[in-house]
Amino acid sequence: MRLADRARPAKAGTLVTLAFGCAWPALAQAQQADPPAEATSIATPPEAMPADSAPGPADVQVDDPLSIDPLAPLDQLPGMEVEWPDGSDIPAWPGEFAADDALPADAQPAEASDSSTSDSVATEADDMRDGLATTTAAADADEGVPGAEEGGGRAARRAERQAEREARRAERQALREIDDGDVRYRVTVNFLPSDDLAELDQAAFRNRFGSLSTLDRLSDEDANLAQVNRRARDDNDLIDTMLRVYGFYDGDVRNSVTRIEGEDRVALTFDVNVGPIYRLASIDLAGLDAVGVDVPAARAAFGMKAGDAANSDRIVAGRLAVLTSLLETGFPFAQTGEPDLVIDHEARSGALTIAVTPGGQYRFGGVIARDDGLFGSRHLERIARFDRGDTFQASDMDDLRRAILATGLVSTVTLTPVAATQPMGSEPGTVDVAVETVAAPLRTIAGEVGYGTGEGYRAEVSWEHRNFFPPEGLVRARAVGGTQEQLINLVYRRNNFIKRDRVLTAQILASNIDRDAFEARTFLVAASLERQTNLIFQKKWTWSLGAELVLSDERDSRARIVGGARRTFFIAALPTALTYDGTDNLLDPTAGFRLGGRISPEYSLQSGSKGYARIQIDGSYYRPVSGRIVLAGRLRLGSTIGANRFDIAPSRRFYAGGGGSVRGFGFQAIGPRDGNNDPIGGNGLAEFSLEARVRFGDFGIVPFFDAGNVYEGSTPDFSGIRYGAGIGVRYYSSFGPLRLDVGTPINPQPGDSRIGVYISLGQAF
């Protein structure tokens, strides 16, 4: 922003001219009255001249200048000796007082002082070194007044000045003692009373000063008093600049340094007189009239009017608001110039001019893909939130840029408006959006090895190609090998299917599971259409509609005891889910709540047909109690309606226990058990958790308390609740928190382990 101070009327030149005009005749007369001087040797010392003679205006007579050889060597300059003064007749430094022995004999104090040493007269250099403002002693007001010397008046004034002098010396000595080592300090900004002080938000000013202050920024670094003074001068200039930003162009800032009594610190105090506030006399948004019918709206967007304070923050924000208003109302090529503020100190006002170039109004045309390898133009138009013919809005173009980044297929993307047709009169033109992308790596090979209490060892490897079937057709192959689970899975997923934010998923899966609760060999074919959330676009509402066909050969722990045969289940299911997310972060929420529900109507064929519905409700709540502590709570309720639990495949029953359930207990270890003390699952589920997330920089500690149980019936009655407690450690990485939890059961069942360890990415809930 250009800032100009209008010059005050200058009178100094006139005064100089008048003074010179008065002196010139006298000078000319003096030159005419002086007779030509005799030739005098320049080497003659002043003391060899007669005492009654005075040097004339010229002490050396030279010949015609044209006869002098310019290359001739110069004569040696004469030597000069100046006697060094003894200082006995030098008056005291301004602000100090004469030594006692310089006073008349009748004015000497009763007790002579022996301190007429180097410390008897303090110099201004000492004051500047120590950061103190030198106080110049006032002249004796009664000096020369008849009778002023009589009585004790002069002695009292001398004693008062002597006390002031000694106090300054003591303060300087205290600062010198601190200056021997590292100087610690406290900074205070005081605002002196003034007529326009109410126009300033003092708290906001102090906070802003604290974020920019050199003293605050370097407060942890070692410094002597001179370095502290340098920082104070920088902050003095900073406060002066900040006053101008807020519209105070005639403020005054004074700083002082004093030692804090009883502490090895100094107090740095800035006394600020803000002075009068300057106001805008005129605002000229030059060129804005070319906008047409939207001029009032664009002018209102500036948010300032004549008479408002000349606040630079508001001026810059207003300029941006005008530009944003134009970009959001069909002017893709709009520009605004730098604010030009001319300050008039006499009127205490400013004249503001901002050049505005609208550049014509346009509607959206098409979306043009410069590289069809990743996306075609048709697919880009599908995921854009604007249609052809819509009024151009820069926010729509930015939304498209973020949506392209969210696909994970590009590392950078650039969108540029390109005029296709020019505006004709009142008819807007057409602007296309050109998209240029740089592809990100499309293939990923990943591996994972882990261990969980109750689950044993588990290793997983996967390969995926995120654009195997362009555009956005992902193929992923996954294999799992572990103590209790072996699995092969093939997934096809197409993002932005038919419409923005729609995801089509199809998969086939073959698995073998051998857990304490059941054994199952399963083959699954499933498909779903869903609205997903992601880190770039965290959505409030998500939903899923799916269909599953499951062929599973299973046996629960009860059948293993009696030697029962496996049972084969053929299951058709239509799982549906709806979730609301009102939190502030997908992986590490600190405020808000989540609420989700899932219902899966299922039809099972096994020794007859059975129809039932599995219902589950999940809720979580997050509340910050301080800048570092967040309280989090979770509730889960589940129910299977329409069938006895033994008519339902063991893999479709409810279980509790483990890292995502009740920590401290083994995986699926809570609930009804068989004769071998193995869990058999149930039709009802109830769980809740409470934890305090305490963060220290990149690390955190999380004490937690979990509870839950599984019930035979479909309605949880909250009896027989099992409790677990423990503590966790978090490392907050750039992509989310890494979790390590250690828990123990408070009221374990027979055979339960005393310790459970859980490791994962993200919070527990």
pLDDT digits (tens, 9 = 90+) for 489-532: 999 999 999 999 999 999 999 999 988 788 899 999 999 999 98
- Between the alpha carbon of residue 31 and those of residues 24, 37, 241, the distances in Å are 11, 12, 53
Contacts 24+ apart (CB under 8 A), 292-300: 292/361, 292/426, 294/329, 297/325, 297/329, 298/322, 298/325, 298/326, 298/329, 298/356
* CATH C-level class of 584-761: mainly beta
The pLDDT value given to residue 655: 94
The pLDDT value given to residue 743: 95
Name the residue with tokens 């604010």. Answer: 339
The pLDDT value given to residue 42: 28
Helix-helix angle 202-212:225-245, to 10 degrees? 130
H helix runs in 141-224, sequence order: 153-179, 202-212, 214-217
Range from 77-91, 109-123, 417-431, 449-463 that averages highest in pLDDT: 417-431
DSSP calls for 121-152: S--HHHHHHHTPPP-PPPPPTTTT-TTTTSTT
pLDDT digits (tens, 9 = 90+) for 385-397: 999 999 999 999 9
pLDDT digits (tens, 9 = 90+) for 577-614: 999 999 998 888 999 999 999 999 999 987 678 899 99
In angstroms and rounded to an integer, the radius of gyration of the C-alpha atoms of the chain is 44
Question: Within 10 A of 763 (CB to CB), how many other CB atoms are there?
Answer: 22
Span 177-190, mean pLDDT? Answer: 78
**Exposed, middle or buried: residue 710 (CB in 10 Å: 0-12, 13-18, 19+)?**
buried
The C-alpha atoms of residue 726 and residue 150 are separated, in whole angstroms, by 88
The pLDDT value given to residue 469: 93
The C-alpha atoms of residue 274 and residue 199 are separated, in whole angstroms, by 10
Task: State the DSSP H helix or E strand holding residue 557, giving kind and residue range, or none if neither.
Answer: helix 557-562
What 3-state DSSP class applies to 282?
strand
What 3-state DSSP class applies to 266?
strand
What 3-state DSSP class applies to 542?
strand
The C-alpha atoms of residue 708 and residue 725 are separated, in whole angstroms, by 12
The C-alpha atoms of residue 460 and residue 482 are separated, in whole angstroms, by 8
Span 459-480, mean pLDDT? Answer: 95
The pLDDT value given to residue 83: 56
Task: State yes or no: pLDDT of 98 exceeds 50.
Answer: no
Q: Which of 73-82, 316-325, 430-439 has the lowest mean pLDDT?
A: 73-82
- Facing residues of 268 across strands? 187, 257
How sure is the predictor about 138, in pLDDT bands with cuts at 50, 70 and 90?
very low
The C-alpha atoms of residue 382 and residue 500 are separated, in whole angstroms, by 7
Span 244-250, mean pLDDT? Answer: 97
For the chain, the structural domain boundaries read 188-273, 279-357, 362-439, 584-761
The pLDDT value given to residue 465: 96
Name the residue with tokens 């359930």. Answer: 661
Identify whether the C-beta of residue 298 lies closer than 8 Å to the C-beta of residue 287.
no
The pLDDT value given to residue 133: 40
**Exposed, middle or buried: residue 535 (CB in 10 Å: 0-12, 13-18, 19+)?**
exposed
Identify whether the C-beta of residue 341 lies closer than 8 Å to the C-beta of residue 1.
yes
β-pairing verdict for 456-465 and 443-452: antiparallel
Same fold, 362-439 and 584-761: no
Task: State yes or no: pLDDT of 249 exceeds 50.
Answer: yes
The C-alpha atoms of residue 238 and residue 205 are separated, in whole angstroms, by 11
How sure is the predictor about 163, in pLDDT bands with cuts at 50, 70 and 90?
confident
The pLDDT value given to residue 175: 60
Handedness of CA 235, 239, 244, 250 (dihedral sign): negative
pLDDT digits (tens, 9 = 90+) for 274-293: 999 999 999 999 988 877 76
Give per-residue burial for 35-44: e unless 16+ CB within 10 Å, then b.
eeeeeeeeee
The C-alpha atoms of residue 658 and residue 751 are separated, in whole angstroms, by 15
How sure is the predictor about 144, in pLDDT bands with cuts at 50, 70 and 90?
very low
What 3-state DSSP class applies to 694?
strand
pLDDT digits (tens, 9 = 90+) for 611-629: 999 999 999 999 999 889 9
The pLDDT value given to residue 596: 97
Span 56-71, mean pLDDT? Answer: 49
**What residues contact 156, with CB distance under 8 A and at least 6 apart?**
none
Task: State the DSSP H helix or E strand holding residue 242, giving kind and residue range, or none if neither.
Answer: helix 225-245
Q: What is the mean pLDDT of the chain?
A: 81
How sure is the predictor about 7, in pLDDT bands with cuts at 50, 70 and 90?
very low
β-pairing verdict for 576-581 and 609-624: unpaired
Task: State yes or no: pLDDT of 158 exceeds 60.
Answer: yes
- Token couple for 171: 């303060």
Identify whether the C-beta of residue 681 lies closer than 8 Å to the C-beta of residue 654.
yes
Identify whether the C-beta of residue 663 lies closer than 8 Å to the C-beta of residue 652.
no
The pLDDT value given to residue 393: 96
The pLDDT value given to residue 562: 61
Compute, in degrees rounded to 10, the torsion defined by CA atoms 334, 322, 248, 348.
80
What 3-state DSSP class applies to 413?
strand
The pLDDT value given to residue 403: 94
Better-predicted residue by pLDDT, 560 or 528: 528
Q: Which of 92-106, 206-220, 450-464 has the lowest mean pLDDT?
A: 92-106
Which residue type is seen at 15? L
- Specify whether domain 362-439 bears CATH 3.30.70.3270: no
The pLDDT value given to residue 2: 55
Q: Which of 471-485, 561-575, 689-703 has the lowest mean pLDDT?
A: 561-575
Span 126-148, mean pLDDT? Answer: 42
As a three-state string, the secondary structure of 514-537 is: ECCCEEEEEEEEEEEEEECCCCCC
pLDDT digits (tens, 9 = 90+) for 350-372: 999 999 999 999 999 999 998 77
Name the residue with tokens 């995926």. Answer: 464
Q: Which of 88-102, 258-272, 405-419, 732-746 has the lowest mean pLDDT?
A: 88-102
| In this structure, CATH architecture of domain 279-357 | Roll (3.10)
- Specify whether domain 188-273 bears CATH 3.10.20: yes
Identify whether the C-beta of residue 656 lies closer than 8 Å to the C-beta of residue 683.
no
